[in-house]
Amino acid sequence: MTVRALREALDGPRPSLVVDARAAAEREAGAIPGSLHLPLAELPARHGELPTDRRLVLHCAGGLRSSIAASVLRHHGHAQVCDLLGGYAAWAAA
């Protein structure tokens, strides 16, 4: 998902849930408003905390960790999962 598409999805009637897969120190430097912080390392144990009936948009700093996180969530039955292209760096630059 592009930054532009995410902005549109967040303004829609049923906004996507943005999941930040970065480490705490990275998040302290900036975050997408309304995003949920769930570091990649914690995801396998905490995936059950995420809704299965809502689109999840994962992001990290640049895209690698969120791609892995999306795969983990799909493996655990989350069908509506996508990755923010370019990660937080793309969001911050836009």
pLDDT in tens, 44-75: 999 999 998 899 999 999 989 999 999 999 99
Task: Check pLDDT > 90 for residue 12.
Answer: no
The CATH superfamily assigned to 3-93 is: Rhodanese-like domain (3.40.250.10)
- As a whole number of angstroms, the distance between CA 41 and CA 30 comes to 19
Mean pLDDT of 2-23: 94
Residue 92 is predicted with a pLDDT of 96
- The residues spanned by each domain of the chain are 3-93
Residue 14 is predicted with a pLDDT of 87
Mean pLDDT of 61-90: 94
- As a whole number of angstroms, the distance between CA 35 and CA 38 comes to 9
Provide the mean pLDDT of the chain. Answer: 95
- As a whole number of angstroms, the distance between CA 88 and CA 18 comes to 11
